[in-house]
Structure 1
Amino acid sequence: MTVTFSACSAPGDGLEAVLAFTTDEPVAWIGADRYRQESAAHNYRPEWSWLAARDGQPVGRALWWGGADASIPSTLDDVVVAVSDPEERVAIASGLITAGAESFGTLPEWIVDVAVDWESDPRAVAAVGWRADAARAAGLTRLTERVSVAWTPASDVPSPAASSGLTFRGGTDDEFLDLFRRVTVGSLDAHTQATVAQLGPSGTAADDLAFYRSLPGSRDDWRIAVDPDGLTVGFVLATRTAYDAAISYIGVLPQHRGRGVVDALLAEGLRVHDAAGEPRVVATTDAANTPMRRAFERAGFTVTKRRIVFDS
C-alpha cells in the first residue's frame, strides 16, 4: 500500500476531503466552520493544508496556521489520522509533518491543546502519546507542556496593586534588546533555555525582539520597570495574539528576582489592557515554571487549558 502526501494547491483541490476529517480523541482539533472562518482571515490556506492518501483514499490531514501576512506558517495546529494501527498512524502523521516542512523550508512547532486535567484521562494520554511519537519521528524532538491562563476585569481576584514603589516607562529597541539578553540568565522558560543553547544570549535576544515586534498590538505598550533608586529591575510586554489582548513576556533581571517584582510587572501589563477596555487578557507559561504560574494565580488569572508544544 502506498501513502502519498499533498497540499491542497487550490481551494477546491482536495480541500473538502481535508475538512471531512473529525476525531473523538480528547484533544483540540479544527472543524470545518473554524477552518473557513480562519481561512477568510488568511490564517489557514490551501497550500498549508495537507492530505495523506493511502491507495487514493484519504487517511489523514495536517493543518498549519500563520499570520495573514506571513509567507510561511508559524505553527502546526492539527493532525488527524483515521487508521487504527498504531505504527501506521504514527508513520502517516510524521509523513505529513515532514512533507509540509520540506515544502515550507522550515519545521514549525506543533501545538496540541488538551484539557486542564488531561493526565487523568487515559484516552487523552494515549492521544498525546502517539502524537509525541510522530513528532519525534518528524524531527520535533523537544516537548514542553504549557499552561494557558486568562484574566477578565470581573475576575474574583483583582489585579495586584503596584505597591512596590516601581515606576514604569517605555524604552527603545536597543534597551529592550539588552534586557532580553540579561534576563536569559537563570531563565526557567524551556524555549529560552533551548534558544540560548543554540544561539547564545545575544542571538536569543535578537530573536526575541524580532518576534515580539511582529505581534499585533501597540509597541508603545511595552514597559520597563524602575525602582526608587533609578535601577531597571525588569519589563513587561502588553501585546496581542491574533484573538486576544495578551501578556506576552515578563522579564525580571536576575539580581532582582524573588522580591515581588513579577507581581508589579503583571499588574502594569493588566493596567495597560484594562485602560484600553480589553474584556479579556491571556497568557501562557511553562507548566514547570512554578513561580510564574503562582504569579498568574495571585493576579486572578484562571487556567483555561494545557498546551503540549512539540518543537525542534
Structure 2
Amino acid sequence: MDIRPIRREELEVFANFSEQADLNEHFLNYLRDMWDEGYVRPEWCFVAEEAGEFVGRIVYWSLPSLGKPFICDFLELPWNANYLAVGTQLLQQSLTQLQLHDSDSMEYQLDIPSPYSTYLEKRIELLEKFGFSLNRETIRFEWKDTQTQITLSNRLTFRSLNQVGEDAFIHGIMQVSSQTLDRSILHDQAKLGLEQEALERFHTSKALKYNPTWWQLAYTQDETLVGLIMPAENDGGAIIGFIGVVPEHRGQGYVNDLLQQGTLTLKSNGAVRIRSDADTVNVPMVHAFQRAGYRQFASRREYRYSMK
C-alpha cells in the first residue's frame, strides 16, 4: 500500500469517496476554496493507494499564515473491510511525511451530526487505538441575524487591542484563562504553563481574520479589568474566537455583556451568522450562549494526538 500526497489533477477522484454525488460535489468545491485560500495544500491531502485505486484519504488543515497543519479531517476508509489496518498506515505515514516536530500535536474534530462523521464508533476506535485522546466535548452554537435588538452594556468600558497594546491583551488572556472550566485550555496550561499558553493562544488567534478594533478588553467604571472578547473569522465565517471573565468577577453576568459586544461587532461588520463552541462542562458559558440567542446546531468531540 502506498501512502502519498495527491497531485492536483487527482482532485476529483480524491473527492469522489461518497456514494452521494451532491456530497462529493460539495467537498470538491470546499477543497478548491481551501486550496485557493491557503487553509489546505495539495501536499497535505493524502491517499492510501492499492493496485492503482484510492482506498483511503485524509486532509490536513491549518490557518494560512501558520505554515503547518494542526487539524486532520475528511478521513475516509474502507469502513466495512480492513479500516483499522488502512487507517493506521494512512495516519502513521502521512504524519511522518508532514515532518512535524516532537512538540507538535494533531487534532481530529468529530462533528455530530455530519455527513463526514459516518461510522462513528469505528472512527473513534481507530483514533483511540492509534493514540488520539479525547481533549474535550463541545456544544456547537450558531447565532443568526433575525433583526433582534442587541442591547449594549452600560456598565463596562471597552478598549481595543490597538488602544491597550499586545502585552496588556496577552496579560488579559492569562487572567481570564485562570481557573477556567474549558478542558482544552486546561490541557494546554498543564503542558505550557499559564503565561505561555496565553501567549500561544494570542499568536494563534492572530492567524484568524480579524480587525484589531474587534478584540477588546472590558473594564468597570473604576478601571478594573473584567474580561475580554475576541471576535474573528475563519474559513467558515464569523466566530466568537475567545471570550472570558476574570475569576473574581465571575457570577455577575459580565459574560452576557461581553458576548453581546462581540456579537454586535461581527453583525456591524456584515455577519448574518456567527458560530462558536463551548465545552460541555463549562455550564456558565453554555447558558450565556443560550441567553444571547445562540442555538445548538451540532456537537463536537475533539481528539488530540501528541507527536512525541
Q: TM-score scaled to structure 1, two decimals? A: 0.85
Output the CA distance in 2 between the equivalents of 1:141 and 1:168.
38
The residue number in structure 1 matching 2:108 is 110
Question: What is the CA deviation profile of residues 181-206 of structure 1, one whole-angstrom value per residue up to 9, with x for unaligned ones?
Answer: 22232111111010011011111111
The residue number in structure 1 matching 2:153 is 162
Aligned residue among 199, 208, 212 for 1:206:
199
The residue number in structure 2 matching 1:35 is 31
Q: For residue 55 of structure 1, report the CA deviation from its aligned partner.
A: 4.4
- After superposition, residues 59-208 of structure 1 pair within 5 angstroms as 59-85=55-81, 88-106=82-100, 107-115=105-113, 127-154=119-146, 158-163=149-154, 165-170=155-160, 171-208=164-201
Number of residue pairs aligned between Structure 1 and Structure 2: 295
Q: For residue 29 of structure 1, report the CA deviation from its aligned partner.
A: 11
Give the aligned residue type for 1:11.
R
Are the structure 2 counterparts of residues 209 and 203 from structure 1 closer, same or farther at C-alpha, using a change threshold of 3 Å?
A: same
Give the aligned residue type for 1:136.
E
Q: For residue 48 of structure 1, report the CA deviation from its aligned partner.
A: 1.0
CA contact (8 A) 1:213 1:219 kept: no
CA contact (8 A) 2:66 2:207 kept: no
Aligned residue among 239, 255, 264 for 2:257:
264
Q: For residue 161 of structure 1, report the CA deviation from its aligned partner.
A: 4.3
Question: What is the CA deviation profile of residues 252-304 of structure 1, one whole-angstrom value per residue up to 9, with x for unaligned ones?
Answer: 10111111010011111112122223222221111222111110010011112
The residue number in structure 2 matching 1:121 is none
Deviates more, 1:96-105 or 1:27-36: 27-36
Aligned residue among 222, 229, 232 for 2:225:
232
Question: What is the CA deviation profile of residues 33-54 of structure 1, one whole-angstrom value per residue up to 9, with x for unaligned ones?
Answer: 3223333333332211111123
Deviates more, 1:271-280 or 1:255-264: 271-280
Output the CA distance in 2 between the equivalents of 1:269 and 1:90.
43
Q: Structure 2: 5+ residue runs without aligned partners?
A: none
Aligned residue among 3, 6, 13 for 2:4:
6
Deviates more, 1:269-278 or 1:216-225: 269-278
Deviates more, 1:45-54 or 1:248-257: 45-54
Output the CA distance in 1 between the equivalents of 2:24 and 2:128.
20
DSSP 3-state at the match of 1:221: coil
Matched residues, percent identical? Answer: 23
Give the aligned residue type for 1:284.
D
Output the CA distance in 2 between the equivalents of 1:151 and 1:83.
35
Following superposition, which runs of at least 4 residues in structure 1 exceed 6 angstroms of deviation? 27-30
CA contact (8 A) 1:113 1:306 kept: yes
Root mean square deviation, CA, Å: 2.6
The residue number in structure 2 matching 1:46 is 42
Q: TM-score scaled to structure 2, two decimals? A: 0.86
CA contact (8 A) 2:278 2:286 kept: yes
